Structure 1
Amino acid sequence: MESKIQVLSTVRVQNSPDLYKLVDSLNRTLKKQDLMFGLALDENDKDVAIFTIYRT
């Protein structure tokens, strides 16, 4: 069985030390609605984080 992950939205935001807490809370709260949230640093600008919402 193949899992399909669909990107719903991607936004670039100012990086913050506590940003991962928001992503963790969203993932724990909304996983039963087949939503997943990701956070990554921009490779070219470490002051920018890339926040992505996925449907699983």
Structure 2
Amino acid sequence: MLIFYFGPFSPFLAHFSFLSLSHVLLSIKHEIKALGASNSPILRENNPQNVLSMG
């Protein structure tokens, strides 16, 4: 049982937390990209460099 549990720190729990965090970060990144895509015509109209800096 020592392989699966080291004191208060469980490798399974750590792996699960890491996956959850990765999923959240990817979701946020995806949301930002979607927002950037929907706003790009407006940004391009005002300042073309804004679109490039977001990428």
- Scaled by the length of structure 2, what TM-score is found? 0.32
Q: Normalized per residue, which structure has more strand?
A: 1
| Higher Rg of the two aligned structures | 2
Higher relative contact order (CA 8 A, sep 6+): 1
